[in-house]
Amino acid sequence: MKRKAFSIIQDIGFILFLVVFPHAVPLPFYSYAVICFLAIFLVLRREDRSLKDLGLDKKNLSSRAILLGILSALAWVIFMQIIYIPVIKHLFNVPDYTEYNFIRSSMQRLIMTIVAAWVIGGFYEEVVFRGYIQNLLEKRLFKGMGRWLPIVITSILFGLYHLQQDIFAVVAACLGGLYWSILYKKWNNNLWVSIISHALFDMITLILIYTGKFGNLI
């Protein structure tokens, strides 16, 4: 019993580390991702597991997975730009700016930020939240309680992970987290689908910001 309690505390502690550490420790240029990714790798290795157990198997990177990632990304862009952002702007006094306004004046900054979006937003965040945290919640902490509780909690944690942005961005991140968590489970824990979807969504959003079309498609 004590061993099980310690294991639960250890799992919760590691989840909190993955969510809080990137914002609590001032490290240069996304270097936190290297530390957190290495921590996940070491934990998996200690448990005699690998990234394949999270759904990151190169065999699953098929043309179907790529197509699903692309289509789901486009669908989420349409939802956010045509429904979510206009509704939020209509109901609330939302300032017309984003934390990525700095890319508007420079193509070089846009390209660098897009690369970061694929590596951090797409690959890293999906490995951490869908691949590791959601699996940990479903298979250990909430084992036997169904798949929806882990999905919802993972989505909330993903939203809180974006707490440095405004409240509307946090809500959007929660919704996005829910979308990609469902996508991940829908396609048999194929992490490539959610990685491509998330990264492509971020890239399109950055391009819309660069062109001044963010939230102004209608």
Give per-residue pLDDT as tens, 94-109: 766 567 778 888 899 9
3-state secondary structure of 77: helix
Query: What is the CA 77 to chain-centroid distance, rounded?
Result: 15
CA distance linking residue 99 with residue 188, whole number of Å:
34
Total structural domains in the chain?
A: 1
Q: What was the pLDDT predicted at 119? A: 96
CA distance linking residue 68 with residue 48, whole number of Å:
31
Decide if 9 is inside a domain: no
* In the chain, % of residues over pLDDT 70: 94
pLDDT (tens digit, 9 = 90+) per residue, 130-174?
999 999 999 999 988 888 999 999 999 999 999 888 888 899 999
pLDDT (tens digit, 9 = 90+) per residue, 186-206?
999 999 999 999 999 999 999
Q: What was the pLDDT predicted at 208? A: 92
Q: What is the pTM of this model?
A: 0.92
Decide if 123 is inside a domain: yes
Decide if 35 is inside a domain: no
Decide if 40 is inside a domain: no
CA distance linking residue 121 with residue 206, whole number of Å:
12
Domain that holds residue 63: 53-211
pLDDT (tens digit, 9 = 90+) per residue, 48-77?
999 999 999 999 999 999 999 999 999 999
Decide if 81 is inside a domain: yes
Decide if 30 is inside a domain: no
Q: What are phi and psi of 133, to 5 degrees?
A: -65, -50
Decide if 109 is inside a domain: yes
Token pair 């486009």 is at which residue? 74
Say if residues 37 and 124 touch (Cβ distance below 8 Å): yes
CA distance linking residue 209 with residue 103, whole number of Å:
8
3-state secondary structure of 216: coil
Q: What was the pLDDT predicted at 218? A: 54
Decide if 70 is inside a domain: yes
